[in-house]
Structure 1
Amino acid sequence: MMIGLDLAELREITAFALACAEPALAIFERRYPGDPRPRAVLDEARVFAGGGKRTNALRMTALAAHRAAKTAREDGHEAAFEAARAAGHAGASAYLHPLAKATQVPHILGSAAGAARAFELDAGDDPGVGTEYIEKAKGLASPVVVDVLKRYPAAPGGGRRAGELLRILDAALRA
């Protein structure tokens, strides 16, 4: 089943994802000051959210941010991994598919969940920090973001703690 989804709504989703991911970028940059990949995707996402086109550069920088995340994970820096992944999700949010599948929900909420997990890990794996950030993300979600989210099935299971944070935000926004 296809879901109605227009470009203005995609821009709103991307603006939300950007606002959620951007504060966590400092966690990645503190560990990898010479790696511009997560910042580059946030810059591209900002252009799209501000009315620009969905360009190949947006897609490519999102993939590059995910590669930066993989590097951080391989190095054992989980907070940096989650921060870079949140940035990658922000860029990928512009490519939310109009398919009524739960697997699309991370395109909407993945950057918030990743950022929350990054902050949690950065604070010594304090779950209260993640829960607090999810509350903040809930406040950043405009009525358009909530409306689009509700067109999709509830978030899928899995994803360890970041997945749990995603499901908490999903349930809170649907309530």
Structure 2
Amino acid sequence: MRVIASSIRKGNVIDMDGKLYVVLSAENIHPGKGTPVSQIEMRRISDGVKVSERFKTTDQVERATIEDRDYNYLYEDGDGFHFMNAETYDQVQVSKDIVGNSAPYLQENMTVKLSMHDGNPIAITLPQRTTLEVVETEPVTKGQTASSSYKPAILSNGVRTAVPPHIGIGTRIVVMTEDGSYVERAKD
């Protein structure tokens, strides 16, 4: 499907010269003088090479047809990560470079969105938030109120983050899967 370059957004998949690229960032630049351009940072899906392209905003770009489906995370082994389609029970294997820095947040039976092109997984989207347990942090100080000072903590998935002073070891907290930042204490 051909679209104009200015309509390309982060997460879109572009077909250039027969190769697929996933868009990491897209910015439309309107200089005071001259032609407006779209600056697009993307990663080639086949080998992970990052590419930066500049198009006129009116240039036609081939957007690949992508199918987003919900899959449940099963397990990880030496070959990669394994997911199952809840409706058809089909299993699919996703390589480590596609999962990338989302890997620590994957939990058994977590529902994720896999973007498929011709039956092959090319991108993964995790839920925005997940609940994890604090396994290591400084002890709670009596009388210390919840101020803007956060303390370091290590979560059950091994990720380091910053938590408010009232959070202790064993507390379950909600974190953003994008950057591991603290949201709130879990309500379970």
Higher strand share: 2
Relative to the length of structure 1, the TM-score reads 0.23
Relative to the length of structure 2, the TM-score reads 0.22
Give the number of the structure whose alpha-carbon radius of gyration is greater. Answer: 2
